[in-house]
Amino acid sequence: MRIDAYEDPGAPDRRGGWRYLAWLVRRQWPRCLAGAVLASVWMVLLAATPYLMARAVDHGLEPGDLGALAGWTGAMVAVGGVNAWLGMMRHRTMTKVRMDANFRTVKVVVGHATRLGAALRGQVGTGEVVTIGVGDVQTISTSLTAVGPGVGAVVAYAAVGGLMLSVSPRLALVVLLGVPALGVLLGPLMGRLQGREAEYRERQSVLTARIGDLAGGLRVLNGLGGKGLVADAFRRDSGRLREQGYRVGAVTSWIQALGVGLPVLFLALVTWLGARQAAQGHISVGELVSVYGYVVALGWPVAFLIEMGHQLSRGVVAARRVVAFLGLEPAPDEGTRDAPAEPSVLYDPASGVRITPGRLTALVTAHPSDATGILDRLGRYTPSDATWGDIPLTEIPLTQVRARILVADPEADLFAGTLSAVIGVPDTDPRGAGNCATSHNAPTPAPAPAPAPGQQPTGADEAPHLTAAINAAAAEDIVRALPDGLKTQVAAQARDLSGGQRQRIRLARALLTDPEVLLAAEPTSALDAHTEATVADRLRAARQGRTTVLAATSPLLLDRADVVHHLVDGKVAATGTHRELLDSEPGYRALVARDAEDGEAAEEGEPAR
């Protein structure tokens, strides 16, 4: 069976950490069973070595029978060779178990994150997801490696007890009762470890989220002079996490110390009792040798049992976190009515914004959150009474809304990969890298024929659509400046590009999808005036005849809009063209003039981006 050969990882058991671990075992039960059998035979044969040694002493060495001695010795060598092979196969099998659990959990978590979609950020922090992906998945998969040896340890423990029973019932009783006594002593520590480990993981996720925020906003913090303040807060949080790590380590060290020390004391007791019985003549010298060998062989299953308890204690904590993540659900989609067949009016009663299909509409407000709130309602990312045509958006299946209405988030994630893949065209197709680096001031080419609403271009359509999207976003200079053009590898979140370049890449990605309705918030806020004017002209031409809504205060964008809604306190105060509102609305004029002054200051103080 190949690892990760399945397309569907299966439906995980979400009823608890232990049940999730059990589900992982059931999903690969043949492999887990093989590991348990191999581990059982391996450990039992470890105990067989002292048995054979006792036979060699009693039947060969003591009576001087060289033939018997050679036979028993040869049997020990053969058993050792077989055991070496069994140990190798056991380790290989449990490695496959670990990797299967790792990949399966990753697939389950990533698949669920995909199903949550936009609801993910509202329900769980980035640090929590990263901690699950980096730490908890590994802990879960490692804990499963204890399954095979754990079963083998129980089998070997029973086998050694049976062999000891043939030597001395008293010694067998000590062996059979000793290991449960160790479990009683270590049980409370295992419970404490779970509590400490859970708290540590929670703190770790919070700190991981803060690290991500710092990495993304370090330039801004430097500019505002807040780096030292945030650094002090980070030191405090990391110090608390370190202290919690010490507490986890303290419990772990006690478990490991007792796991090593108690079995040694226990086995020493068994050896001492065996020596006394040999001195009293109750057992033979060969049986004394076998008792010592059994004691040594018993060290392996005892150690594996303690290690299994330790690993499973940590694994169940990690599994509970995965189960909690899998328990998150997106907002219920109860839509049963089909979306309008033709482009229709989008209306937001909360603000009074009415979006006429096929036109470029701008939303202007002094409070950007008011405009983004409207876009989220019209894109059905927040509950509202918004309508599409005469149908409430909440009554339309979400898949239909997503297929035709795109909300272009100004902070949308950019994944690592080639630039063409970041924009949205798989880089397995060599097409699309050729004619994208056109002149920055070249006229906008006629866009390629648009695909069906909501459909990604495919096949031979990829290259012309990619070229048109890059041109409309005025991003040709980005392609031209990179060493391998569209094949250049870009870091996660495109951190190796400037803010203005990232913004144009996001815009190109949104334009590539060619949605029926495009809702974008401040798509040119990080651009200089010259580049912004180019984007404004090309965006209007590229979206001709399709519905586009821009939340912006830039005069360069507003002058190209067909309709402008001026919002005050989140509601429409005036509607008209940009020039009409400049003449009739003093509040609008003051707001736009302030934005123009800010843009001129930025243009004088910064190079074009």
Instruction: For residue 227, give both structure tokens.
Output: 């780096």
Instruction: For residue 604, give both structure tokens.
Output: 């004088």
What region, left, alpha or beta, does residue 359 occupy, with left being phi > 0 and alpha being psi -120 to 50 degrees? beta
Task: Count CB neighbours of 231 within 10 A.
Answer: 12
In total, the chain counts a number of residues equal to 609
Q: Which DSSP string corresponds to 503-517?
A: HHHHHHHHHHH--SE
* 3-state DSSP of 299-315: HHHHHHHHHHHHHHHHH
pLDDT at residue 193 greater than cutoff 80: no
Helix axes 17-27, 285-326, angle to 10 degrees: 110
- Please state whether the predicted TM-score (pTM) of the whole model is above 0.85: no
Query: Residues 384-432: pLDDT tens digits?
Result: 999 999 899 999 999 899 999 999 988 888 888 899 999 988 765 443 4
Under the banding of pLDDT at 50, 70 and 90, the label for residue 225 is low
Alpha-carbon radius of gyration of the chain: 35
Q: Are 400 and 454 in contact (CB under 8 A)?
A: no
Of the candidates 341, 347, 182, the residue with the CA atom closest to the CA atom of residue 257: 182
Average pLDDT over residues 465-489: 91
Give the C-alpha separation, 102 to 99, whole Å: 5
Under the banding of pLDDT at 50, 70 and 90, the label for residue 287 is confident
List beta partners, residue 489: 418
> Worst-scoring range by mean pLDDT, 79-83, 160-164, 186-190, 236-240?
186-190
pLDDT at 186: 62
The residue among 66 and 7 whose pLDDT is bigger is 66
Please report which helix (H) or strand (E) contains residue 267, including its range. Answer: helix 227-279
Instruction: For residue 154, give both structure tokens.
Output: 């129980």
**How far is C-alpha 21 from the chain's CA centre?**
18
Q: Are 140 and 104 in contact (CB under 8 A)?
A: no
Average pLDDT over residues 229-241: 71
Instruction: For residue 588, give both structure tokens.
Output: 């609008």
Sign of CA dihedral 169, 170, 174, 175: negative
Q: Say which residue the tokens 């019209």 belong to.
A: 378
Instruction: For residue 459, give both structure tokens.
Output: 């096949």
pLDDT at residue 3 greater than cutoff 70: no
Q: How many helices (H) and strands (E) in the chain?
A: 20, 12
> Worst-scoring range by mean pLDDT, 101-115, 512-526, 594-608?
594-608
Of the candidates 307, 294, 49, the residue with the CA atom closest to the CA atom of residue 174: 294
Sign of CA dihedral 6, 12, 18, 23: negative
Instruction: State in Å, rounded, how far the first CA of the chain is from the last one.
Output: 52
